[in-house]
Amino acid sequence: MIKNFEKFDILLGGGFKKGSNIFFIGKTFTGATRFPLYLISKALENGEGAVIITVDKPYTTIQDILSNYNNNLKNLRFIDLYSIPTQFLDFDYDENNVVLLENRKDLDTLLNVLKRKTSEFERYRIMIPISSLLLFIDPLEMSNFIERVSAMVRKDGSLGFYIMNSGMHEERTVELFKRLSDGVIEFTEREGKHYFRVLGIPTAKTTAWVEFHIFKNEVVIESFTISKIR
């Protein structure tokens, strides 16, 4: 069993290439959200920045998950699109670390705030819940937004993580966004066990399904067979 999660880099053939936009796709409770959050926690641990957009939950929920993985959250920023629209405002927050936005459909403002927050860091990772935004925004409009964000990520040599719940969309919608990616991490659940596989990353050592476990304070990947993609 691989207990050191950094060995995820082995499977990728050296980790994610700088400037990559990676899509994490799976149904609810398969790990498509928790897995990239763990990757973000490792970046924070190493001193990188992170900007997370929240749409269907307050930023405090995500912050609590990350605090289980890593206590060093000083380089963590949130753009919260949940708290004002739902009037979930029963908390204090640091305006330097959290931006509360009211209009979930205003993608121009969202992009401007995202650019401003990422400019605080030399390298950063962003996380955008595409499926949650698609509840309010037309898929074509949303894909145009993601295309602009992904161009920014490539220019800055950073990483973009995009979350899609495959159970919420038609296959053509999922494929629309997959075309914007530099790689896909796909998740599934079978008989109570969780698996992921890496697609579209040429340096990856295998495209086979790999079993993993999510615990309160770590993610553990089972052993896998290294077989270079041909």
pLDDT tens-digit series, residues 210-228: 999 988 888 888 876 554 3
85-32-126 Cα angle (round to 5):
60
* pLDDT value of position 4: 52
| Pair 194, 213: CB distance under 8 Å | yes
Cα–Cα nearest to 61, from 87, 82, 30, 85: 82
**Average of per-residue pLDDT across 163-175:** 92
Contacts of 106 (CB under 8 A, 6+ apart): none
* pLDDT value of position 122: 96
Whole-number mean pLDDT of the chain?
Answer: 91
Instruction: Please name the amino acid found at residue 70.
Output: N
CATH of domain 5-221: 3.40.50.300
Cα–Cα nearest to 97, from 133, 142, 63, 124: 63
At residue 230, does pLDDT exceed 60? no
pLDDT digits (tens, 9 = 90+) for 3-35: 456 678 888 988 999 999 999 999 999 999 999
At residue 229, does pLDDT exceed 80? no
Q: How far apart are CA 59 and CA 127, in angstroms?
A: 12
pLDDT digits (tens, 9 = 90+) for 28-80: 999 999 999 999 998 999 999 999 999 999 999 999 999 999 889 999 999 99
* pLDDT value of position 44: 95
**Average of per-residue pLDDT across 105-131:** 97
* pLDDT value of position 96: 87
Least confident of 117-126, 166-175, 182-191: 166-175
77 strand-pairing partners: 51
Q: Domain boundaries in the chain? A: 5-221
Instruction: Note the Cα 164 to chain centre separation in Å.
Output: 9
Determine what percent of the chain is predicted with pLDDT higher than 70.
93
* pLDDT value of position 2: 43
Instruction: Please name the amino acid found at residue 100.
Output: L
Contacts of 32 (CB under 8 A, 6+ apart): 24, 25, 26, 163, 164, 165, 185, 187
- The model's pTM: 0.92
* pLDDT value of position 168: 92
